[in-house]
Amino acid sequence: MDLEKVGPGVWQVPPTGGMRVPARIYASEKLLAAIRGDQSLVQACNVAHLPGIVGASLAMPDMHEGYGFPIGGVAAFDAEEGIVSPGGVGYDINCGVRLMRTDLLAAELGDSMAKLVHQIQRDVPAGVGSQGAIATLSERDLDEVLRDGAAWAVRHGYGEPEDLEHTEATGCLPGADPRALSRRARERGAPQLGTLGSGNHFAEVQVVDEVFDERAAAAFGLVPGSVTVLLHSGSRGLGYQVCDDALAAMHEGARRHRIALPDPQLVAVPISSPEGKRYLAAMRAAANFAWANRQVMMALIERAMLRVLGGSRKTLGFRLVYDVAHNIAKLEEHERGGKRQRVLVHRKGATRAFPAGHPEVPVAYRKVGQPVLVPGDMGRASFVCVGTDKAMAETFGSAAHGAGRMMSRHAARRAGAGRNIARELEQRGVVVAARSPKTLAEEMPEAYKDAAEVVEALHESGIALPVARLRPLGVVKG
């Protein structure tokens, strides 16, 4: 597929055939070589066929093949004339990351580091079929979680009100309707609040290894040598079921609305259609469940730290830096051609990256911009970046969400056969607590791109700028 370079770190496929807009890729030449190894470029071009798409079909430097949309794909659709596509959100609705900081110095932890990792594993239920640290939710409580998101968890003693100020959308999307969920989705979600997913989900203890932007790092509370915790999880079985239900319902809707699809996985319906409204109401509810889920787990991690290290939240300097969603569709206003336009922004494996001065950036960060969290793999660094004006102008305020897979899980298991991944990581200074050796093989560092290369591509294109590097010390996997 022919790509033309249109700027530093920016490539474009011009509209051809049924493409309504170009497909624009944010990547370095090195990352492009990996991207060409799967069907993600084709998928980005397929997205450009969809009705009501605005500007371009966009893809981030961590892009790889997904269901319908590429993972790392971003697309905005006119709120009046556009479509909504579950493939543009993904199965794990509001899979996202939450970064916590402390005043603890990693150099002073000693043997407490391993104890802390294993205490987190004991206190945070994880993996397929795991049940939450709280009892199965009643019908009434589940309805409140689906409507109120992270605020429900805070009301029930999991965290503090200040946590909501540092959560995207304050941890709750308006317009959620619990009645839009199927009985099966509710049954899958009721026992899973406060659980860490399997696969690429994790809770990771880290150290602030290097600071690149002292002003932004100071605003975020990131001090060289200090301990942080990064949490990655989503809406669990509830979100998966919402996506599955919507895909089944929308195929007939797409035919009825005569939406031509270059790929059946891109099934979509008008935003204003009954199917579109129902999906959005259910997707918002699942997103709220995910924010409540991460809020509960943050409180469980805090309790684990207090058990091992003593003190209090205040003496540990424990607080939330930020929480961002990865898989979500949100109604936003963006400037296009000098005019404000209301659009439904699909971010699938992509994160919001709003700049300094934006009213949705927390007040404490408004002079520097929104934290953009880019997790790495188990053996290599994660990064904190910051959103930019260029992202608002070009990518609807979006950036990369992580390292991006290089191998399928099956290929990673083959590559890891006969290896002791936990011992290899221990030799690199990373304590690992995992319930399954298979998970460690699937998630080994070689299965992913290097997050440092992804961040370099973000920097080159100007859509996010690096603030700090976080080196892993210990990781809990589901």
Q: What is the pLDDT of residue 298?
A: 98
Q: What is the pLDDT of residue 364?
A: 97
Radius of gyration of the chain (CA): 21
Residue 78 in tokens: 């006119």
Residue 429 in tokens: 């200074």
Annotated catalytic residue, options 166, 326, 346, 401: 401
The residues near 183 (Cβ < 8 Å, ≥ 6 apart) are: none
The structural domain count of the chain equals 1
Q: What is the pLDDT of residue 127?
A: 63
Residue 11 in tokens: 């490539």
Domain that holds residue 308: 4-477
Provide the residue count of the chain: 478
**Does residue 326 have an active-site annotation?**
no
Residue 91: φ, ψ to 5°: -75, -45
Give me the average pLDDT of each 10-residue run along the chain (478 residues): 92 96 97 92 97 98 95 97 97 97 96 95 79 81 98 97 98 98 97 90 96 98 98 96 95 90 95 97 98 97 96 97 98 93 98 97 98 94 98 98 86 86 90 85 87 97 98 93
The residues near 235 (Cβ < 8 Å, ≥ 6 apart) are: 92, 93, 94, 95, 189, 242, 286, 287, 289, 290, 293
CATH number at residue 265: 3.90.1860.10
The residues near 140 (Cβ < 8 Å, ≥ 6 apart) are: none
Going from the C-alpha of 160 to that of each of 136, 296, 336, 349, the distances in angstroms are 23, 11, 38, 28
Q: For residue 170, give the nearest of 299, 319, 251, 287 by alpha carbon.
A: 287
The residues near 389 (Cβ < 8 Å, ≥ 6 apart) are: 355, 356
Q: What is the pLDDT of residue 131?
A: 61
Global pTM value: 0.96
